[in-house]
Amino acid sequence: MADIGNIDVRFSVDGIGDYEKVVALSEKTSFGDQTIRLLSLDGLIASKRAIARPQDQLALPELEMMRKARDVARGHDVLSLPTDEPAPQELIDHSEADLEL
């Protein structure tokens, strides 16, 4: 197996909460021949916003642009979504694999 870097395994995430809340803001994805859960883009934004470290604050504008691009690709009106709140659940429920960017 190739070296892919560090993997952070957590049972709670700052800004989101315990395992059940993290699962609600995660998405299933394939990793090799395994299916794993990763924090969704909306979950990552919520966590980085809550942690508020300088490096997290620097990452937020790019993550917000990624979310808007995703939502536009899905045909959602991004002008009606406030940027300081997570996207509605119906936006979170779709897999990133649904996008054709």
pLDDT confidence of residue 35: 92
Does residue 2 lie in a domain region?
Answer: no
pLDDT class for 54, splitting at 50, 70, 90? very high
Whether 94 shows a pLDDT value over 90: the answer reads no
Does residue 82 lie in a domain region?
Answer: yes
pLDDT class for 5, splitting at 50, 70, 90? confident
Q: Which letter, b or e, does each residue of 63-98 get, where b requires 16 or more Cβ atoms within 10 Å of its Cβ?
A: beeebbebbeeeebeeeeeeeeebbeeebbeeeeee
Contact in structure between 39 and 47 (CB atoms under 8 Å): yes
Query: Residue holding tokens 């990133």?
Result: 96
For 89, the token pair is 């659940």
Contact in structure between 45 and 67 (CB atoms under 8 Å): yes
pLDDT confidence of residue 82: 54
Does residue 49 lie in a domain region?
Answer: yes
Domain count, the chain: 1
Does residue 29 lie in a domain region?
Answer: yes
Which secondary structure element, helix H or strand E, spans residue 18, and what is its range? strand 17-18
Does residue 28 lie in a domain region?
Answer: yes
Does residue 1 lie in a domain region?
Answer: no
Whether 33 shows a pLDDT value over 60: the answer reads yes
Beta bridge mates, 35: 30
Domain span holding position 67: 12-94
Does residue 4 lie in a domain region?
Answer: no
**91: DSSP letter:** H
pLDDT class for 15, splitting at 50, 70, 90? confident
Does residue 101 lie in a domain region?
Answer: no
